[in-house]
Amino acid sequence: MEIGTSTRALAKLGTLRQLEIFLKVAETGSIARAAEALYLSHSAASVQIRKLAEAVGLPLHEVIGKRLFLTEAGREVAASGRELFEVMSRLDGRLKHLKGLTAGSLSIAVVTTAQYFLPRILGPFCQMYPDIDVAFMVGNRAKIIERLNGNRDDLYIFGDPPDELEIHGRPFLPNPLAVIASAKNPLNRRRRLDWEDLRGQKFLLREEGSGTHNTIRKHLRENNLSLAKTMVVESNEAIKYAVMADMGITILSAYVLADAEEDGLAQLRVKGFPIMSHWHVVNLKSKKLSLIAERFLDFILNRSRDVLPMEHIEQQVQRALARH
C-alpha cells in the first residue's frame, strides 16, 4: 500500500485518542467503566466513540438490554487498533534501545499458583532494568485464557497451557503437585502412605477447569483412583489457610510449600505423588514481542532457576519420591 493511501485510510479510522477510548470500551464492555479508567467524563467518552463511528461510517457497538456489544465493524476496528498500538509500542521500544535506554513496559498475566514464585523472578529482573513499567495480573485459568485470547499482555504463565489457541508454550520450571496437609494432621507423622490411607480425609480442590484440577483429574483417571470427600475452593490462598487450620488436605503445587515451616504446612509422602508437570511461559504465535518482553522471556527461560529456592523445592520432591 502506498503511503498516501495508508494515511487516508488511517484518517478514516479517527484519531489515536478515539481508538484508545474505543479499545478501553471493548475491554471493559462499558462506556462508563472505560471513561472512569481513562479519567474522562461519560459524555466526553461517548462523544469520542460517536466521532470514531462517524469516521468509520458504520456503528461500532449496540446496546441490548443493559449490555454493550461490539458490532462486526467494532470488532474489526478493535482488532486493528490493538495491532496499531502494538506496532507503536515496538517502535517506542526500538527507539529507546537505539538511545541506549532500558525503559519500556512489560505486561504479564499468571494463573494464581504462579504468584508464589513469579515475584522472585521479577525482582532481580527489575533490578537489572529499573526504569521499566511492569503490570502483573493474577487470575484463575479461565480469566488468564481470556486475556491471552484478547492479546492483552506480553507473556502468560500457565501450569496447563490451553490447547485450543495458537500459542508458543515453553516449559521453564518443574511444577510438582504434592499432597499437602496441616503439620498437625496425624498423617504427617507417617513416613509412608498409600492412597487408601487418605480415604477418610476431605480434599480441598480448585474449581473445575483450573490447570491444577485438570492435572489432578487426569492423574486419578489414569491410575484408577477416586476422591471420596471433596470441597471446591476457588482461591489457592483460601485453600492454604483452610489446610493450615486442618479443615482438610489438598493437592497443590509444591511452590506453596516455600514457607512451609512458617505456614504450618507439610507434604504427605503418598505413593504416586508428587505429580510431575511443568510451568510454561506462553504468548500468542501472532504476537510480536517488544524488546523488553524478549529480554524477560530470555531471563525466565535461562535464569529463573538461579533466583528461585530450587534447592528447597527439589528437596521436597526428593523426600516424596523417596517413598518409592
Q: Is 197 within a domain?
A: yes
Give, as one character, the DSSP assignment of residue 264: T
Q: Is 252 within a domain?
A: yes
Same domain, 11 and 33: yes
* CA atoms of 304 and 122, how far apart (whole Å): 9
* CA atoms of 218 and 39, how far apart (whole Å): 47
Let me know the angle formed at the C-alpha of 68 by 65 and 70, rounded to the nearest 5 degrees: 130
Give, as one character, the DSSP assignment of residue 207: P
Q: Confidence class of residue 1 from pLDDT cuts 50, 70 and 90?
A: very low
Q: Is 320 within a domain?
A: no
Read off the pLDDT of residues 168-225 as tens digits, 9 standing for 90 and up.
Answer: 999 998 888 889 999 889 998 888 899 999 988 999 988 887 788 888 888 888 989 8
Q: What is the CATH number of the domain that holds 250?
A: 3.40.190.10
Q: Which amino acid is at 109?
A: A
Same domain, 106 and 169: yes
Residue 5 has pLDDT above 80, yes or no: no
Domain around 36: 3-79
Residue 124 has pLDDT above 50, yes or no: yes
Residues whose CB is less than 8 angstroms from the CB of residue 199 and which lie 6 or more positions away in sequence, other chains included: 228
What total of structural domains would you count in the chain?
3
Residue 2 has pLDDT above 50, yes or no: no
Same domain, 75 and 121: no
Task: Calculate mean pLDDT across residues 229-248.
Answer: 86
Same domain, 218 and 138: no
| Listed residues 54, 79, 104: the one ending a domain | 79
* CA atoms of 22 and 35, how far apart (whole Å): 10
Q: Is 318 within a domain?
A: no
